[in-house]
Amino acid sequence: METAGISAQTIETLQKYHIRAQKKFGQNFLIDPHVLEKILDAAQIRQEDCIVEIGPGIGTMTQYLAQRAGKVVAVEIDRALIPVLQDTLRAYQNVEIIREDILKMDLRRLAEEKNEGRPLKIVANLPYYITTPIVMRLLEEQIPIHSITVMVQKEVAQRMQAQPGGKDYGALSLTVQFYAKAQIVGKVPPNCFLPRPGVDSAVIRLIKYEKPPVFVQDQKLMFALIRASFGQRRKMLVNGLHNAQQLSLDRETVIRALQQMGVSPDVRGETLTLEQFAGLSNLLSGAGYHS
């Protein structure tokens, strides 16, 4: 099947079933074949892979995933789209449709049952209003995942791969990069969707690390430090950590730790690397934290 006819095929399906995009589910149907190819190529799908597609919609991308992968599990929250998917995907024996909320389902069990516990590959055109909770759940929980290739709002993608010092760099950047290598593989304008979203989009690929790139004694503490550091971006890091309610750290303790790292006490949080946050966390471990 060629991707060239995706636009006409999608519009025909939407008209056939009288489907309107549901705002409550953040639905925007992809109609550009070049973007579809970009997602498929970025996901690097092999015949032995088990793909979990989040929000398959009317099954347009699912069909192409099914041609490349050994198995596709399509997880759709919108009950009204299930009969549509059963129709558009009826020719594909390697596709299973599940009506479920991705934030609530047991993904570890899914990996065990559908892929014998081997790492899954996640592919999705994510609803923008719920992108971060979905990505964070996929990364933070002990779910066997090889990679996550998703369409997201461009600004969110930029924050995920941002480096220290830039305006996009923040808690999301550090959290994502602790768990995965992030790479934007393409920008996507609004006219690639029906209906058109009010923002630009981007395809980003997250390759999950087998183990984090930095050693951290207490991950909860490190992420608490990160959140406190970016809670008030203009403040010096020392003040941000000292004033954070979740942390019980006095200024002198934080200053000593920074000096031990060779970092100025006047530093702001947005200039610290992931490695530096991990080092600071290890030095402050036990100095005062309430989980």
Chain position carrying tokens 């009288």: 18
Share of the chain above pLDDT 90, in %: 68
Name the E strands within the chain: 29-30, 50-54, 71-76, 95-99, 120-125, 145-153, 180-188, 193-194, 201-208
How many CB atoms lie under 10 A from the CB of residue 234? 8
Helices 6-16 and 33-43: angle between axes, nearest 10 degrees: 110
The span from the CA of 94 to the CA of 81, in Å, is 19
Is 290 among the domain residues? no
Same domain, 95 and 195: yes
Residue 150: both structure tokens together: 């998703």
Q: Which of the listed residues 180, 208, 236 is the one where a domain comes to its end? A: 208
Pair (48, 105) in one structural domain: yes
Give the tens place of pLDDT for each residue, 53-82.
999 988 989 999 999 999 999 999 989 899
* Any domain includes 168: yes
What pTM was computed for the model?
0.88
Owning domain of residue 229: 219-284
Same domain for 123 and 90? yes
- Judge if 160 and 225 occupy the same domain: no
Pick the residue with more confidence: 201 or 5?
201
48, 140: one domain: yes
Q: Which of 185, 208, 231 is the last residue of a domain?
A: 208
CATH code for position 259? 1.10.8.100
Domain count, the chain: 2
Q: Strand 201-208 vs strand 180-188: parallel, antiparallel, or unpaired?
A: antiparallel
Domain boundary among 208, 230, 248: 208
* Same domain for 95 and 11: yes
Query: Are 268 and 155 found together in one domain?
Result: no
Dihedral over alpha carbons 54, 58, 61, 66 (to 10 degrees): 90
Q: Is the per-residue pLDDT at 4 higher than 50?
A: no
